[in-house]
C-alpha cells in the first residue's frame, strides 16, 4: 500500500489536501465506470490536461523502462516535486531528477489514464528495466501515479493508492 505523505507546512498541506480531494473524485468516477466494455484507455473530467501532457507521461515511462535515467530526468521541470511514499523529494536539478528516477526499481508500461482538471492519474504495469533497478517480485504488479504537467514537463509526480491487477485494463477495485 502506498500513501501520500504530508510536509507539515500549511501550503504543502493545502496542496496535498487538494490533490487528495481530486484523486477521490477521480477514484469515484473510475468506480462508476467499472464493468464498461467500451475499451477506452482514458477518461476525462473537467480536463485541463491535454493529449500532449499524457504523451509526456508515456514518454517518461518509456525512458524509465528503457533504463535511460538521464532521458527520464529531462521530463521533469526544475523545480518540481516527487513523492513515492511519505518522503517528498524536491527536484531542483536534472541530477536530482535522475537520482529520483534511479530510486524507482521497476520499469513501467502505461495502461489506463484518467484526467481530472490538471491532474493525470496513470496506471502502470511494472516491469524489469535495464540498469541498477531490480523490480523482482514487483514485476507484473500495478502502480498508480498522479502527474501534473506544465509546459510539457512534470511538475508533480505522486504515487497514489493501491490497485488491483485488473486496473491496468481500466477497472479499479
pLDDT band at 48 (very low <50, low <70, confident <90, very high): confident
Taking alpha carbons only, the member of 118, 6, 113 closest to residue 60 is 113
Which domains does the chain show, CATH number per domain? 10-169 (3.10.450.50)
| CA–CA gap between residue 133 and residue 18 (Å, rounded) | 32
* Mean per-residue pLDDT, 83-87: 92
- Give me the pLDDT at residue 43, please: 63
Closest CA to 171 of 38, 40, 31: 31
CA distance 101 to 56: 15
Which of 117, 118, 69, 121 is closest to 97 using CA atoms?
69
| pLDDT of residue 34 exceeding 70 | no
Band of pLDDT at residue 18, cut at 50, 70 and 90: very low
Q: Which residue has the higher pLDDT, 113 or 169?
A: 113
The secondary structure of the chain as a DSSP string is -------SSHHHHHHHHHHHHHHHHHHHHHHHTTT-----SEEEES--S-HHHHHHHHHHHHHHHTT-HHHHHTTEEEEEEEESSSPEEEE-SHHHHHHHHHH--SEEEEEEEEEETTEEEEEEEEE--SSS---GGGTT-EEEEEEEEETTEEEEEEE-----GGGGGT---
Are residues 161 and 23 in contact, defined by beta-carbon separation less than 8 angstroms? yes
Average pLDDT over residues 6-22: 39
Amino acid at each position: 500500500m502506498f500513501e501520500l505523505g504530508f510536509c507539515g507546512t500549511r501550503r504543502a498541506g493545502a496542496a496535498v489536501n487538494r490533490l487528495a480531494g481530486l484523486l477521490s473524485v477521480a477514484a469515484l468516477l473510475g468506480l462508476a465506470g467499472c464493468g464498461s466494455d467500451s475499451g477506452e484507455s482514458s477518461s476525462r473530467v473537467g480536463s485541463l490536461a491535454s493529449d500532449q501532457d499524457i504523451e509526456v507521461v508515456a514518454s517518461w515511462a518509456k525512458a524509465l523502462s528503457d533504463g535511460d535515467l538521464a532521458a527520464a530526468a529531462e521530463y521533469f521541470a526544475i523545480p518540481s516535486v516527487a513523492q513515492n511514499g511519505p518522503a517528498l523529494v524536491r527536484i531542483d536539478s536534472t541530477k536530482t531528477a535522475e537520482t529520483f528516477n534511479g530510486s524507482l526499481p521497476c520499469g513501467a508500461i502505461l495502461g489506463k489514464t484518467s484526467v481530472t482538471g490538471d491532474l493525470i492519474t496513470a496506471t502502470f504495469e511494472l516491469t524489469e528495466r535495464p540498469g541498477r533497478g531490480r523490480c523482482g517480485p514487483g514485476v507484473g504488479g500495478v502502480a498508480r501515479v498522479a502527474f501534473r504537467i506544465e509546459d510539457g514537463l512534470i511538475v508533480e509526480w505522486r504515487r497514489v493508492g493501491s490497485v488491483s491487477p485488473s486496473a491496468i485494463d481500466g477497472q479499479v477495485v
